[in-house]
Structure 1
């Protein structure tokens, strides 16, 4: 079965190059009308230009597709709202949002300024919030929506020199989890991708021999599936270099103790037992985790 996106309208942020460009081109080749959003700034978020976004639009149109360029910063609420209103007026609906835009300001935490931290969180986390909020009511009213967040192995597992990036990226997993619950009754499915690809963002983070095997096209299959009609919801897929895995936030079976044993000493003595991953769980909601903690039936 070939996945098609005929009559679907997709917004892809950060689509002037790298992963976003690859997503936009693939969706357009499958019939989607695509908004190529890109501020056109440097890797650290400075500057702006519409040329990169327009170049991708030109590629799509040359291949027989339909697309428009937009240069709004994902952190600018008014500009994002204007973009969404224009797309809705022109194409009548918005079905897909891929929150891909991002910047890097890598430093060790001791050298990182508050501004370094805020700027990265603002673009990755708040930018995704702003864009998703702008399309959410449209998706609710049409009873259809597919939203893809972009996390990272840094957010999921940590990486030296990226405290700001990791915090923002893990925040997006939490955002996905709650929105997947809130969107369920409206057929809005929300997922997250953790890409590992050779892009401007990673060009000096991985050795050349590895980058050569990890083009953006190796991530695209997972992203496209996660915004398709038959997509799951609340899924996080790691993708890159031909590998596709699913990440989970898990819960061990743990221990349940009587009130008189609720001491730090008990935790110290039984920490290995608490940490034992045998039979670990994947709660559907935060409330489900609470139920396990209070049940005493491990």
Structure 2
């Protein structure tokens, strides 16, 4: 096939029973990767959906094993890592896809409900990622993908816990990228747009038809490739479109007499304070702080 091969690479995909995770697992396997398929165990105790995904992959000539578990379990990452090592002898990539939805305005939620969303979306990702990341550092190579959302980038009405948990994951991906770069480990975040069980009630049939999960899957396979050099990025993908999302800072203003600064001065300066003309993209929080201290934005005199 003309697409870049993933032959010989071993990739773990969480939440791979349906929707985006299923599309990712099938696409990775079709490109030659051996896939560790994770889904939640069935409450009934019957075979997990991971088994049927493995059957699909092996029937098409691919290689896969099932590892059903709840990602928020303390030992989830250890077990997924061991499954990859026992089944295929190595691990090269991790796709964190598992997540929990939410649809309730903040003032109607309890603290327990908010924590339950974080338990799966954020701590479930950390639990899976940490031992695998440590192993990748030791072996000197690896690719980690963390699933965020437009809700995490910009917020969505009625999704406070979901939005904030997904925003936290962007920070996690950035730190892994910064700390893992010297050891050959790259981490990126992906905000996918796709018709899934989580999104189908929010989009029309016409829009949903343009957003099959299969249109996002090649982006994931690309990010799992050793040849892909992206690190610390957040991509938005869906419907055959891919774009970069970043957090930028405008130049702002500086006041000549900060000791005399009054709220009326801030009212007067609201335009230049909010302006993004001449924006910058700090590579990390330390650089942002240094630039804030030493840059020379337009100066205003505090006159109040």
Partner SS for 2:200: coil
Task: Give 1:208 deviation, angstroms.
Answer: 1.5
Structure 1 segment 168-183 matched on structure 2, within 5 A: 168-183=165-180
Return the match for 2:214 from 195, 214, 217. Answer: 217
Could you say if the C-alpha distance between residues 54 and 253 of structure 1 is closer, same or farther in structure 2, counting changes exceeding 3 Å? same
What is the match of residue 53 of structure 1?
50
RMSD (Å) for aligned C-alpha atoms: 1.7
Structure label with greater radius of gyration: 2
Could you say if the C-alpha distance between residues 197 and 240 of structure 1 is closer, same or farther in structure 2, counting changes exceeding 3 Å? same
Structure 1 segment 171-250 matched on structure 2, within 5 A: 171-231=168-228, 232-250=230-248
Deviation per residue, 1:42-77 (Å, 9 max, x gap):
xxxx87764311111001000111101111111001
Structure 1 segment 103-114 matched on structure 2, within 5 A: 103-114=100-111
What is the match of residue 31 of structure 1?
32
Partner SS for 2:201: coil
1:272 aligns with 2:271: yes
Task: Give 1:261 deviation, angstroms.
Answer: 4.6
In structure 1, how many angstroms separate the alpha carbons of the residues matched to 2:99 and 2:46?
15
1:15/1:100 contact within 8 Å kept:
yes
In structure 2, how many angstroms separate the alpha carbons of the residues matched to 1:141 and 1:83?
17
1:24/1:34 contact within 8 Å kept:
yes
Aligned residues: 294
Partner SS for 1:77: coil
Deviation per residue, 1:130-158 (Å, 9 max, x gap):
11102012101111110001111111111
For structure 1, which runs of at least 5 residues remain unmatched after alignment?
none
Partner SS for 2:122: helix
In structure 2, how many angstroms separate the alpha carbons of the residues matched to 1:116 and 1:49?
28
1:256/1:296 contact within 8 Å kept:
no
For structure 2, which runs of at least 5 residues remain unmatched after alignment?
298-304
1:18 aligns with 2:13: no
What is the match of residue 10 of structure 2?
9
In structure 2, how many angstroms separate the alpha carbons of the residues matched to 1:35 and 1:186?
23
In structure 1, how many angstroms separate the alpha carbons of the residues matched to 2:211 and 2:261?
49
2:36/2:83 contact within 8 Å kept:
no
What is the match of residue 302 of structure 2?
none
Could you say if the C-alpha distance between residues 39 and 47 of structure 1 is closer, same or farther in structure 2, counting changes exceeding 3 Å? farther
Could you say if the C-alpha distance between residues 164 and 208 of structure 1 is closer, same or farther in structure 2, counting changes exceeding 3 Å? same
